[in-house]
Amino acid sequence: METLFIAREAQLRQHENTLQIKLGDKVRSLPIEKVGHIVLLAESRLNSRLLGLCGKHGVRLSVFDYYGYCKGAFEPWNHNPAGKVKLKQAALLLEDQQRLSVAREILRGAAHNRIANLKYYQYRGNEAMKPIIQTLQIQMTKLNTALDTSTLMGIEGNLHQDYYTAWK
């Protein structure tokens, strides 16, 4: 499914279950099944039949003004992925092992970023960062052995504490 950008004044309508676009004197028909998102970047006219067609086929429509600010959007009610994502996230919280795995990876990413930041300053001549980097790397290895969230939270606290001692 493609995103269709319309940057000139146009008239959009439904014609025999297809999307019909009129640009000046030219008329072009597109199968709605090939379109996933319509972005209107100029003055355009459309009707409610087109919105019904977009809703039926899960096509999103976004309208922007001359300056590029979003003026509005049409989101088909049953094609909103955010709701599905929230349900999956909530279901993930109910399973302890998966929840622990996600939390572990978030902490691993945060620790990696902190170590990279300290290495940046160590590379530029601040040798006081070296023992702190080693301490953080040791804390990072403990992430794999954490069996519950309270242990993981303790490791997270130690990571924070060790990292911020570098800036004293």
* 37-74 pLDDT per residue, tens: 999 999 999 999 999 999 999 899 999 988 888 899 99
Q: What's the whole-number average pLDDT of the chain?
A: 90
Task: Let me know whether 34 and 99 are in one domain.
Answer: no
Strand order across the beta sheet in which 35-40 lies: 2-6, 35-40, 60-64, 70-74
Helix 149-165, helix 129-142: angle, nearest 10: 170
Strand 26-31 and strand 18-23: pairing? antiparallel
Nearest to 107 by CA among 154, 166, 55: 154
Task: Let me know whether 156 and 125 are in one domain.
Answer: yes
Task: Let me know whether 24 and 65 are in one domain.
Answer: yes
Last residue of a domain, one of 79, 107, 129: 79
> Is residue 29 over pLDDT 80?
yes
* 75-118 pLDDT per residue, tens: 887 665 667 777 888 888 888 888 899 999 999 999 999 999 99
Q: How many domains does the chain have?
A: 2
Last residue of a domain, one of 79, 98, 113: 79
- Please count the CA atoms within 13 angstroms of the CA of 155 that sit on its side-chain side: 26
Domain that holds residue 158: 82-165
Task: Let me know whether 132 and 98 are in one domain.
Answer: yes
CATH label of the domain that carries residue 71: 3.100.10.20
> Is residue 3 over pLDDT 70?
yes
